[in-house]
Chains A and B, each alone.
Chain A
Amino acid sequence: MRNRVVVTGMGVCAPNGVGLHEFVTSLKNGTSGIQFHPELEKLNFSCQIAGKPNIDTIYLNKYFTNVQLKGLNASGVFYGVIAGRDAWEDAGLTIAGSENPDWDSGIVFGTGILGVDKFREAIYQVDEGNVRRLGSTSVIQTMASGISAYLGGMLGCGNQVTTNSSACTTGTEALLMGYDRIKNGKVKRMLVGSCSDSGPYVWGGFDAMRILPRNYNDTPEEASRPMSASAAGFVPGSGAGALVLESLDSALERGATIYGEVIGGAVNSGGQRSGGSMTAPNNEAVQRCIASAIKDASIEPNAIDAINGHLTATTKDPDELKNWSVALGRSEADFPYVNSFKGHFGHCLAAAGSIECVGTLLQFKEKQIFGNINCEDIHPEIDKFIDASKIPTTTLAIAPKIIAKASFGFGDVNACAIFKAYS
């Protein structure tokens, strides 16, 4: 028995919008969430701009109890809980009562590293011989599975509750893990998503690698330039995205709103062979991942109307699109529409996949393909095999039926999900 799997709720805490309404408005209008951060300048970062969700005006008691908020210093937990609980509410689901958990609901909520600011607090205390002064929440705020644990308790989920971690693939992988579990009849619904902390301790390592743009500190909104000839590196981001996946039967039974269907997907690794490395993808592996996802979805490559790429705005963007072109056997004007939301909010690292999956699915609801920003000057290598009309710079009133979304990550790991409009 293979269940069909649909998306019935979504939540997002992104640099260009907290909550679906603000987020979709920003995506449609090409509003950037990248800002200059004086803190990064003070700390001598080369790249002093970043994408950080603005949660200053969010009423946190809607999401956390007072006790939970006490000493909470893990930005990823704030973002993940806001997105996760919003998705649950958006799906019209209630919270399990105080006695029994909801055995039919589970969570896969990934992260790269959690609670770095809390960990920093702890390190200072430990180094000063004050371990007894750490308090009770150092562990739960800094364990990777802290985010799924917080959400699991808040919602009362009684099925699998876990955290995955696969660098920038994390969010899309989480979605596919939940999809597999529902498809195979092990659970009715799964909250899937991912979060990524913000701040200098997360972003510093990337700055040190010299892979972030250095010349846009005065013009932050122009810095993230996926597919552009002037792309100068990825802008670091943060936040969280969350989706409620559910068996079609369960969704219909509840009369839930359906954003779209997950019809297939694949994950793999290039084994850091044949050009693949800790930081670069093995092109054959990327092509195989995309081809496997298409096969899993039982569709033909030409059924894909649009792609939401990984496309981080580094020199690797042309390679990624070449891989899509080879895997789909499509090029020039036959290539699907392609967009990357990283132009709007940068690369949200472990949260990238889930935030971008939310944006991808919103295109079904809006019956639009959201435009790219900062790629008026298409990279000449891309221009060689993809018609410029397929890389829209404004939002198009074209209703996509099938969209492929991929994420790739450090460690040479890949994930590709195929979504279909539900009708």
Chain B
Amino acid sequence: MQEEKYQKLKAIVQTYLPDDVSAEEIQLESNFTQELNINSANLVDIVLDVEDAFDIMLENEDMDGMQTVKDALEIIDTKLAAK
């Protein structure tokens, strides 16, 4: 289940990677902007895609705390649990 969520998130993140960063570089601990080199403006788009994919809604504060792939998974878990 957890693996399924991770793969789903990875698939979203992958579409915002710069052309010179490969999908294999996405790890649980990867920092979106620092390590994966994702433009910080695109975090907004990742949040929207996550909302659609998991049928949840993230608040502005959730986005502020979302720095790594792991952070995002935890926020997704929390939101799914609260449903």
Among A65, A67, A135, point to the contact of B48 (Cβ < 8 A): A135
Give the shortest distance, in Å, between A139 (CB) and chain B (any CB): 9
- Determine whether A136 belongs to the interface, using a CB cutoff of 8 Å to chain B: yes
- Determine whether B28 belongs to the interface, using a CB cutoff of 8 Å to chain A: no
CA separation between A70 and B12, bound complex, in Å? Answer: 12
- Determine whether A21 belongs to the interface, using a CB cutoff of 8 Å to chain B: no
Within 8 A of A (CB), among B35-66: 39, 41-42, 44-45, 48
- Determine whether A66 belongs to the interface, using a CB cutoff of 8 Å to chain B: yes
**Residue of B at shortest CB range from A68?**
B19
CA separation between A65 and B15, bound complex, in Å? Answer: 10
Within 8 A of A (CB), among B1-23: 15-19
CA separation between A137 and B45, bound complex, in Å? Answer: 9
Residues of chain B lying within 8 A (CB to CB) of residue A66? 15, 17, 19
Q: How large is the interface on B (under 10, 10 to 19, 20 to 34, 35 or more residues)?
A: 10 to 19
Among B17, B39, B44, point to the contact of A135 (Cβ < 8 A): B44
Give the shortest distance, in Å, between B5 (CB) and chain A (any CB): 22
| Interface size counted on chain A using CB atoms at 8 A | 9
CA separation between A135 and B17, bound complex, in Å? Answer: 16
Question: Interface centre among A66, A67, A70, A133, by most B CB within 10 Å?
Answer: A67
B39 and A67 form a contact (CB under 8 A):
yes
Encoded as 1 (CB less than 8 Å from any B CB) or 0, chain A from 58 to 102 comes to 000000011100110000000000000000000000000000000
CA separation between A70 and B17, bound complex, in Å? Answer: 11
A67 and B41 form a contact (CB under 8 A):
no
Residues of chain B lying within 8 A (CB to CB) of residue A133? 48
Give the shortest distance, in Å, between B40 (CB) and chain A (any CB): 9
Give the shortest distance, in Å, between A125 (CB) and chain B (any CB): 11
CA separation between A67 and B16, bound complex, in Å? Answer: 5
Question: Which B residues fall within an 8 A CB radius of A?
Answer: 15-19, 39, 41-42, 44-45, 48
What 5 A-B pairs are tightest by C-beta distance, nearest first? A136-B41, A136-B44, A65-B19, A135-B45, A136-B45
* Between-chain CB contacts (< 8 Å), 10 pairs: A65-B19, A66-B15, A66-B19, A67-B15, A67-B16, A67-B19, A70-B16, A71-B45, A136-B44, A136-B45
